[in-house]
Amino acid sequence: MDIKNFVERIKETNLFTAYNTNVDAIKYLKGEDVQKLVDEFNHKDIIKRMEEYPRIIEEPLDFVARLVYSIKTGKPAEVPIKDDKKLHEWFNKIKYDEERMGGQAGIVSNLMATLRLNKIIVYTPLLSKKQAEMFVDYDNLLYPLVENGNLVLKKVREAYREKDSIKINRIFEFKKGLKFKLNGEEITAKQSTRFIVASRPESLRIEVKDDVRRFLPDIGEMVDCAFLSGYQAIKEIYKDGKTAKYYFERAKEDIKLLKKNKNIKTHLEFASIPNVEIRKMVVDYILSSVESVGMDETEIANVLHILGYEELSNKILKDSFVEDVIEGAKILLNKFKNLEIVQIHTIYYILFVCRADNPLSNEELEECLEFSTILASTKAKLGNIKSIDDLYEGLKVPHNKYGDLLKGIVNKFNNDNYKIALSPSRYVEKPKSTVGLGDTISSGAFVYYVSLLKKKNEVRNN
């Protein structure tokens, strides 16, 4: 299918996105950069700290240990940083290569505005002037405000609040083949991926503030679907005594309010969540409330572990076999009757698993996935998608060599109970950037899915 046809399919769709946006400070690491970092410390201390596997960065050694682990294993990671002045000053001394939009809600909003979706309403609890300027300047990208007791939608760049603080994530990108030495051992990056040092400022609360919150049913009426993310930023307890439970209960209620006047489709974009209690709450409160979920193979393994499927979880973490991932997705569909679709994205494929009674055909499901692989290869190749014409660059990237093998395996699993669709990824050997690839894939597939459902319903109702 031609790019114009793909884009034509989604242009009438209206989307709500929340909650997380931030400024990404990006460093593209070379071997000598990593060597310089590890040489600041005793190499044996780094190895010892890697074995301890810190789940929060409390000092620079924690960062270096987790970065080396990520490079060595080829696995992306996102680890929160302690809100400490001296630690932030240490990170600020690093010379970053660029600053740009970060956070799933921000990345997805900009992408969908660029693809000329009819309307995108984005809500983020912090919107400083600097953050607002990270949004693309399009008329279809709007922010909800309350003025004189009424809901008003303004262009995001005009809706900033002077007093809001800025959340900055530091992102360290590295390419496959990067080399450095640690304690006499040469370490080579197995994959091109990234390591994120995620800030969690006390002022950031993952919530819709009360003034806008009472208008969520009205916002839900204006859109066809909602892409929800950022729950990984919720803390167990805050200085004012509020707890994670308080914010998760609000988040669950937000979804109910969005659906109050119109039965819109909602999507949870999972994330790397080192804190097991927060991860469990995402499953209990949010996964149990949405129709669609997007995750990578590590994230589904972590969810399965929470649900008690330790053996399967460990198999996926160890081998990443597509058969085990499909089995895991089926478990989620059986456990959570609210779920219509489980979407898994890996370096080699993107996968939809849904029940056999899903209104879309296998061919239509594959079309959703194919669209998302073009978006991903474009972003990987160019670093960003600035216009619809950029997608022709992504289309030039061939599917990876395992496509036929993977499709053959998946076809064995299609039966009377499930529909399973897979599209092999268009593999960019040395991507310009990997940040936001998962969000790009998930949002592209989800919005396309909703667009096809919407058209089917319109045909049925006419």
Distance CA(47)–CA(40), nearest Å, equals 14
Distance CA(56)–CA(82), nearest Å, equals 7
CB 256 within 8 A of CB 210: no
Coil, helix or strand at residue 166: coil
CB 61 within 8 A of CB 189: no
Where do the structural domains in the chain lie, given as residue ranges?
3-20+103-164+201-461, 25-100+166-199
Beta strands in 279-417 (DSSP E): 292-295, 341-345, 349-355
Alpha helices per DSSP H over 11-128: 31-38, 43-52, 60-73, 85-92, 104-114
Q: What is the pTM of this model?
A: 0.88
CB 132 within 8 A of CB 122: no
- What are phi and psi for residue 82, nearest 5 degrees? -65, 140
Coil, helix or strand at residue 235: coil
Tokens of 296: 């990578």
Q: What does the buried/exposed string (b/e) look like for 186-212 if buried means 16 or more CB atoms within 10 Å of the residue's CB?
A: ebebebbbbbbbbbbeeebbbbbeeeb
Distance CA(192)–CA(407), nearest Å, equals 24
CB under 8 Å to 457, separation ≥6 — which residues? none
From first to last of its 462 residues, the chain has per-residue pLDDT tens of: 689 999 999 999 999 999 999 999 999 999 999 999 999 999 999 999 999 999 999 999 999 999 999 999 998 888 999 988 899 999 999 999 999 999 999 999 999 999 999 999 999 999 999 999 999 999 999 999 999 999 999 999 999 998 998 889 999 999 999 999 999 999 999 898 899 999 888 889 999 999 999 999 999 999 999 999 999 999 999 999 999 999 999 999 999 999 999 999 999 999 988 899 999 999 999 999 999 999 999 999 999 999 999 999 999 999 989 999 999 999 999 999 999 999 999 999 999 999 999 999 999 999 999 999 999 999 999 999 999 999 999 999 999 999 889 988 888 887 889 999 999 999 898 888 888 899 999 999 999 999 999 998 887 776
Query: Residue 412: its pLDDT value, please?
Result: 83
The dihedral over CA atoms of 355, 361, 365, 367, expressed in degrees to the nearest 10, equals 180
CB 161 within 8 A of CB 128: yes
Tokens of 213: 């919150």
Q: 25-100+166-199 belongs to which CATH class? A: alpha beta
Distance CA(8)–CA(222), nearest Å, equals 20
- What are phi and psi for residue 124, nearest 5 degrees? -135, 130
Query: Residue 96: its pLDDT value, please?
Result: 95
Query: Residue 435: its pLDDT value, please?
Result: 80
CB 197 within 8 A of CB 92: no
The partner residues of 170 in beta bridges, in order of sequence, read 25, 197
Residues assigned a catalytic role: 439
Distance CA(280)–CA(273), nearest Å, equals 10
Range 3-20+103-164+201-461 classified under CATH 3.40.1190.20: yes
CB 22 within 8 A of CB 168: yes
Query: Residue 1: its pLDDT value, please?
Result: 67
pLDDT in tens, 80-98: 999 888 999 999 999 999 9
